[in-house]
């Protein structure tokens, strides 16, 4: 009888860890189920397929031509800068700098230095005034919370001063600091570019294939080709996207908690809404001025220190952050938003966006939000660097 009782006791002790494991598993499953149910009630959705303007349907010839133009410094005044100089795949199609270095710079990404390119200019060239936005997913700019958007009117730049990728790619070649330098007067920038392209037999042939019938090498076709290429640089397979498609293990419990905070207590979705996590509106947040800004301060849209809400997709590969790159890490951005006070002497409390207010998040809650924001990055995007460009110039400009 004593032996039987001892055996039962020993069996009980052996079962205790197993029972504890079962209880923990059940508790974890309950927590997971609760988080998933709360997230499902938010009705979140991922990115749709890419839409193209009716005036610029996509085809492989346009995309191939656009890729060549994107990487070829032939379109800059001194032939030393390409689109890819400041929008490089190694840095999420941005440049890893707070403020970009365009004309007469040398080196790639954070290692790039200004006025070291050996050009003889009328005067030194300062930094480009605003952080280089990533090209990733700009195909979806302007998307509403319901997932609707029109590529013909997609807002571009930090102040949305140009609409559509076709318009956007016509801006930088005219900027002295970005691409033009002293290579030609601003008024004849595109006359110069088009003349160069038309005189190049490889480009002339490529334009004729992409735009058959009539005069193919034109400013309009130039912009259509680059835009067609840029609409292929999209990401829709982040952990967040996989979760929305039904993979409930794609996000960790911490990321799920961060998601609920993002759409709940922190109220981040007041401005970061919809599949692109941006309302594409303008807000004054009191970001401190970057001392490298050529004018000392950036007054933003309508001189109100307002800047367009950036998408939060691919934050993991597109820092530093905000319109002037003054915050280096995702955690710094979350802390800045949690403080909710102006750090810019020109932005008084009455100018601040109503949503910029102290949030009262704990350190643990901020960690959770950072974890969620990190889940928005998809590193599986086109990183192709051409082996050469039709002009024979260094691929990507003076970056080597």
Instruction: Please report the domains of the chain, with CATH numbers, ordered by start residue.
Output: 60-230 (1.10.760.10), 239-374 (1.10.760.10)
Give me the pLDDT at residue 6, please. 43
Q: Residue 312: which of 383, 238, 227 has the closest Cα?
A: 238
Q: 130: which residues sit within 8 A by CB, 6+ positions away?
A: 99, 157, 158, 298, 323, 324
Give me the pLDDT at residue 278, please. 98
- Which backbone phi and psi does 307 adopt, to 5 degrees? -135, 155
In terms of Cβ atoms closer than 10 Å to its own Cβ (0-12, 13-18, 19+), residue 190 is: middle
* CA atoms within a 13 Å half-sphere pointing along the CA-CB vector of 149: 27
How far, in Å, are 54, 215, 262 from residue 211 at the CA level?
15, 8, 46
Please state, in angstroms and rounded to a whole number, the distance separating the CA atoms of residues 120 and 179: 15
Structure tokens at 81: 């800068």
Q: Residue 102: which of 160, 158, 182 has the closest Cα?
A: 182
Preceding peptide of 320 cis, ω within 30°: yes
Give me the pLDDT at residue 304, please. 97
In terms of Cβ atoms closer than 10 Å to its own Cβ (0-12, 13-18, 19+), residue 245 is: exposed
3-class DSSP state for residue 282?
A: strand
Give me the pLDDT at residue 30, please. 54
3-class DSSP state for residue 263?
A: coil
Please state, in angstroms and rounded to a whole number, the distance separating the CA atoms of residues 182 and 389: 23
- Cα-to-chain-centroid distance, residue 42: 24
How far, in Å, are 16, 18, 181 from residue 10 at the CA level?
10, 14, 84
3-class DSSP state for residue 283?
A: strand
For the whole prediction, is pTM greater than 0.85? yes
- pLDDT tens per residue across all 400 residues of the chain: 444 444 544 545 455 555 455 445 554 455 578 999 999 999 999 999 999 999 999 999 999 999 999 999 999 999 999 999 999 999 999 999 999 999 999 999 999 999 999 999 999 999 999 999 999 999 999 999 999 999 999 999 999 999 999 999 999 999 999 999 999 999 999 999 999 999 999 999 999 999 998 899 999 999 999 999 999 999 999 999 999 999 999 999 999 999 999 999 999 999 999 999 999 999 999 999 999 999 999 999 999 999 999 999 999 999 999 999 999 999 999 999 999 999 999 999 899 999 999 999 999 999 999 999 999 999 999 999 999 999 999 999 999 8
Strand locations in the chain, DSSP E? Answer: 155-156, 162-163, 282-284, 306-308
Q: Residue 283: which of 358, 334, 337 has the closest Cα?
A: 337
The total of other beta-carbon atoms located within 10 Å of residue 111's CB is: 10
Q: 182: which residues sit within 8 A by CB, 6+ positions away?
A: 77, 78, 119, 121, 122, 176
Yes or no: say if 109 and 62 are a contact pair by the CB < 8 Å rule: no
Give me the pLDDT at residue 4, please. 44
The total of other beta-carbon atoms located within 10 Å of residue 349's CB is: 9
Q: What is the dihedral of CA 65, 70, 74, 79, to 10 degrees?
A: -170
Q: Residue 381: which of 312, 309, 317 has the closest Cα?
A: 317
How far, in Å, are 185, 198, 353, 355, 395 from residue 391 at the CA level?
22, 11, 48, 49, 9
Give the DSSP per-residue string, 101-118.
--TT-BSSGGG-BTT-S-
């Amino acid at each position: 009888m004593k032996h039987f009782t001892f055996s039962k006791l020993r069996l009980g002790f052996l079962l205790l860890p197993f029972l504890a494991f079962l209880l923990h598993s059940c508790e974890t499953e309950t927590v997971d189920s609760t988080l998933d149910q709360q997230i499902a009630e938010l009705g979140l959705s991922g990115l749709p397929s890419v839409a193209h303007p009716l005036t610029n349907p996509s085809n492989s010839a346009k995309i191939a031509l656009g890729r060549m133009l994107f990487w070829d410094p032939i379109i800059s005044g001194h032939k030393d800068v390409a689109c890819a100089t400041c929008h490089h795949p190694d840095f999420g199609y941005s440049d890893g700098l707070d403020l970009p270095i365009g004309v007469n710079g040398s080196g790639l990404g954070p290692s790039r230095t200004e006025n070291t390119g050996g050009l003889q200019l009328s005067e030194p060239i300062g930094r480009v005034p605003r952080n280089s936005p990533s090209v990733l997913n700009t195909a979806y700019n302007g998307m509403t919370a319901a997932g609707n958007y029109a590529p013909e009117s997609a807002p571009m730049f930090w102040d949305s001063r140009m609409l559509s990728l076709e318009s956007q790619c016509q801006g930088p070649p005219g900027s002295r600091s970005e691409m033009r330098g002293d290579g030609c007067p601003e008024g004849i920038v595109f006359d110069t570019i088009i003349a160069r392209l038309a005189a190049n037999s490889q480009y002339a042939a490529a334009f004729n294939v992409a735009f058959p019938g009539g005069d193919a090498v034109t400013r309009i076709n130039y912009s259509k080709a680059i835009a067609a290429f840029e609409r292929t640089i999209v990401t829709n397979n982040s952990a967040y996207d996989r979760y929305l498609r039904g993979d409930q293990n794609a996000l960790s419990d911490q990321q799920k908690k961060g998601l609920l905070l993002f759409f709940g207590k922190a109220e981040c979705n007041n401005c970061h809404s919809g599949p692109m996590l941006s309302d594409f509106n303008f807000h004054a947040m009191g970001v401190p001025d970057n001392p490298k800004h050529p004018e000392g301060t950036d007054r933003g849209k309508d001189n109100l220190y307002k800047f367009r809400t950036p998408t939060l997709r691919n934050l993991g590969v597109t820092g530093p952050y905000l319109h002037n790159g003054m915050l280096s890490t995702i955690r710094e951005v979350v802390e800045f938003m949690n403080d909710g006070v102006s750090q810019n002497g020109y932005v008084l409390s009455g100018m601040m966006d109503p949503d910029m207010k102290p949030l009262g998040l704990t350190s643990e809650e901020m960690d959770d939000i950072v974890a969620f924001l990190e889940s928005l990055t998809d590193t599986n995007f086109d990183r192709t660097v051409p082996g050469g460009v039709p002009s024979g110039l260094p691929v990507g400009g003076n970056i080597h």
